[in-house]
């Protein structure tokens, strides 16, 4: 069952839904919005379990989180939209592409991957779920350092993490752990795709972006030196220029 997402909306142009990563909320997109709002009608939801959106009992999938977005587009009377997903938001964007292809105009995959979790990563997520159940969100606060190469961004990212609810954090960890391999689906996409990745990404190595580009060579790939896991936050102008390619020729 889909839930009704909290969102804000700014700008003019083709509809672009911006999907934040883990364990964040829509505020993650604030630095890039000034560059995107001239080109897109930017729709910025808090994903299920984050920000002001509803919490549901963990056990839901990324496909269900994608269904929330499909329902949001219907609610807004938008027949199809571009999606930009950062990290977990990219996993959800890929799930959306699999399940709701007819509502998709194009994809921006930012600091993300189509590969599923390796068994060790999956195991670590289940351990983190147990820690969060016991200690609240404290065990994921350290993500703030891992999200960026430039540590000047750490305090503001930590502030976003601090306001998240443990139940939403646990739900997203489980959904990410159980996600399928999205590479076969990605290879069949016919809509425009851009891929942006930081060369200093310590959470999702740049090889994962190259792996996506290898199955979809017509996609535009931008690799950013000196940037870590969060291109939209760390290099908003360059990332926005790549996203704008979805609606404008290079």
- Fill in the per-residue mask, 120 to 139: x = in contact with ligand MLT (CB under 6 A), - = not in contact: --------------------
Contact between 22 and ligand MLT per CB under 6 A: yes
**What distance in Å separates the CA atoms of residue 13 and residue 208, rounded to the nearest whole number?**
31
Which stretch of DSSP H or E encloses residue 86?
strand 81-86
66-94 b/e with 16+ CB inside 10 Å = b?
bbbbbbbbeeeebeebbbbbbbbbbbbbb
Contact between 149 and ligand MLT per CB under 6 A: no
Choose between 110 and 240: whose C-beta lies nearer to ligand MLT.
Answer: 110
Which stretch of DSSP H or E encloses residue 194?
strand 193-198
Contact between 88 and ligand MLT per CB under 6 A: yes
Contact between 53 and ligand MLT per CB under 6 A: no
Contact between 87 and ligand MLT per CB under 6 A: yes
Contact between 215 and ligand MLT per CB under 6 A: no
Q: Name the minimum Å distance from CB 64 to ligand MLT.
A: 17
- Greatest extent of the chain over all pairs of C-alpha atoms, in Å: 50
Choose between 143 and 240: whose C-beta lies nearer to ligand MLT.
Answer: 143
Q: Name the minimum Å distance from CB 169 to ligand MLT.
A: 11
Q: Name the minimum Å distance from CB 48 to ligand MLT.
A: 14
Are 109 and 85 a contacting pair, CB within 8 Å?
Answer: yes
Are 248 and 163 a contacting pair, CB within 8 Å?
Answer: no
Q: Which residues bind ligand MLT (CB under 6 A)?
A: 21-22, 87-88, 176, 203
């Amino acid at each position: 069952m889909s839930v009704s997402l909290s969102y804000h909306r700014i700008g003019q142009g083709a509809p672009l839904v911006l999907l934040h990563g883990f364990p964040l909320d829509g505020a993650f997109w604030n630095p890039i919005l000034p560059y995107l709002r001239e080109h897109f009608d930017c729709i910025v939801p808090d994903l299920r379990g984050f920000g002001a959106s509803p919490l549901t009992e963990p056990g839901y999938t990324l496909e269900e989180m994608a269904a929330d977005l499909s329902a949001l587009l219907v609610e807004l009377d938008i027949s199809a939209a571009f999606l930009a997903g950062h990290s977990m938001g990219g996993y959800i964007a890929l799930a959306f592409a699999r399940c709701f292809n007819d509502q998709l105009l194009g994809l921006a995959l930012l600091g993300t991957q189509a590969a599923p979790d390796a068994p060790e990563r999956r195991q670590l997520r289940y351990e983190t779920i147990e820690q969060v159940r016991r200690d609240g969100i404290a065990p994921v606060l350290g993500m703030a350092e891992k999200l960026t190469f430039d540590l000047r961004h750490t305090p503001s990212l930590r502030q976003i993490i601090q306001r998240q609810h443990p139940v939403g954090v646990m739900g997203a960890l489980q959904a990410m752990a159980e996600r399928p391999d999205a590479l076969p689906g990605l290879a069949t996409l016919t809509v425009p795709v851009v891929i942006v990745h930081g060369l200093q990404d310590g959470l999702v190595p740049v090889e994962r972006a190259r792996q996506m580009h290898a199955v979809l060579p017509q996609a535009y790939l931008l690799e950013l030196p000196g940037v870590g896991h969060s291109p939209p936050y760390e290099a908003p102008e360059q990332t926005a220029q790549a996203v704008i390619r979805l609606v404008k020729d290079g």
